[in-house]
Amino acid sequence: MKPRGIRAIPYAVVALLLVVALRYTPELPEHRPAEVLQQGNVSSAQAVPRPWSRTERLNRGETLIGLLKRAGVSDQAAAEVVRAATASAVNTRFLREGMPVDMTADSMGQSPRELVFHLGIDRLLRMKKSANGWEGNEERLPWTTDTVVVGGTIHSNLYQAMDSSAAQYFPAHAKDELAWALADIFDYKVDMSRDLQDGDHFRALVERAVGPEGITKVGKVLAATFSLSGSDMSAIRYESETDSPKYYDATGKSLRAAFLRAPLEFRRISSTFGSRFHPVLGIWRAHKGTDYAASSGTPVRAIGDAVVVRAGWSNGYGNLLELRHRNGYVTRYGHLRGFAKGIHSGARVDIGQTIGFVGQTGLATGAHLHFEVLVGGVQRETRAALKSTGGEPIAHGELAVFEQRREQLLATLSGTAGVVRLAAR
């Protein structure tokens, strides 16, 4: 509850407000002082208790007591309230700048009878003064969850496809989240920044949570399908009895594989970078690899478990990182601005681990990652080389349950777009 910052500033502000208030406040009506003196004394015939309420927002570095005093609450009442609030749920970590506090008092605000702390978008603490003192109750504001089918066709990229298909169900930021969620689900299968072509399409069955103040969040993606150049791919979310929820393909194989499909997370790649980007010139253009345009400093991840075999300068590649994986696979990451901590020759890295950062060292005209896959020492086209053959199959004993769930989800998914009920099993 102690202020972390400068204590003098709120006081200075209060003082300034006070000066302004004194200067501009019209004179109080004659009966007001009496009312103040008799506040809380309802039996007084003269003073009709008038409910007084206002909302204050916590200033930067301000304590709760500071806010209450600023609002005109008496020292004693403020101390009581803070004691009670602390005993309830108002922990200092909830005291974020701008937090609204609604106050209701019988009159003038010096002695409040109800305070509402808006702890978060979906929870508040309501404190009421009773004969026994202050009592606080935390209230959860309701979120409603429904299920939506979104379907779209790719023309330039996934964001654009999401814009045109999900706009009526999700606000802008949530549409991006949905694109990222899909990219995560297919992280071992599809490079969403490169593999999508004009005319490809997707459908997703996704939970949507709508909260107080109309806030909309992307919930769980229950199922999704992608049709890429005519080949279909499904993801079914299934919670096995023995394992955490995972995504499986239609045959019941986990979508996880030995390699991630791309060395950059899709969410890290700016939507303005399209496949038209050609960052390299001259003979460098003939290199065998894949270029990913991304801002300098974007984290680069190991696409699989590996041992670092090289981390240093290499002519046109600039800062180059080379990883050796199992089965004769080697991956290269070039033009790096630098390497992540602990990355040196001989170090072991895990799949997905940050190994370096995008830069434009070596022969590069703009910040980008140059990525290569070598199999048996030969550079291979990355998409073909990383085509995964499917992960762990679901436990045999659970296959029937999985198939039932799959039928239910896919039936719903293939229905009309919009808010849906899950098809009956």
The site for Zn ion (CB under 5 A) is made up of: 289, 291, 370
- The Cα–Cα gap between 152 and 107 comes to 57
Minimum CB–partner distance for residue 287 and Zn ion (Å): 5
Residue with tokens 């003098």: 8
Cβ nearer to Zn ion, comparing 128 with 380: 380
Return phi, psi of residue 404, to 5°: -65, -45
- What are the CA-CA distances from residue 371 to residues 320, 330, 422, 423 (Å)? 10, 11, 42, 43
Assign 223 to helix, strand or coil.
strand
Report helix, strand and coil shares of the chain as percent, to nearest 5.
25, 30, 45
Cβ nearer to Zn ion, comparing 164 with 275: 275
Minimum CB–partner distance for residue 315 and Zn ion (Å): 13
User: Which residues, 6 or more positions from 414, have their beta carbon under 8 angstroms from its beta carbon?
Assistant: 203
Minimum CB–partner distance for residue 318 and Zn ion (Å): 11
- The Cα–Cα gap between 318 and 333 comes to 10
CB atoms within 10 A of CB 189: 24
- The Cα–Cα gap between 22 and 225 comes to 67
Cβ nearer to Zn ion, comparing 189 with 335: 335
Cβ nearer to Zn ion, comparing 152 with 289: 289
Cβ nearer to Zn ion, comparing 136 with 289: 289
Minimum CB–partner distance for residue 270 and Zn ion (Å): 18
User: Which residues, 6 or more positions from 286, have their beta carbon under 8 angstroms from its beta carbon?
Assistant: none
Cβ nearer to Zn ion, comparing 118 with 370: 370
Cβ nearer to Zn ion, comparing 252 with 289: 289
Minimum CB–partner distance for residue 273 and Zn ion (Å): 14
Residue with nearest beta carbon to Zn ion:
370
- The Cα–Cα gap between 220 and 146 comes to 11
Minimum CB–partner distance for residue 267 and Zn ion (Å): 22
- The Cα–Cα gap between 323 and 339 comes to 13
Minimum CB–partner distance for residue 369 and Zn ion (Å): 8
- The Cα–Cα gap between 286 and 307 comes to 28
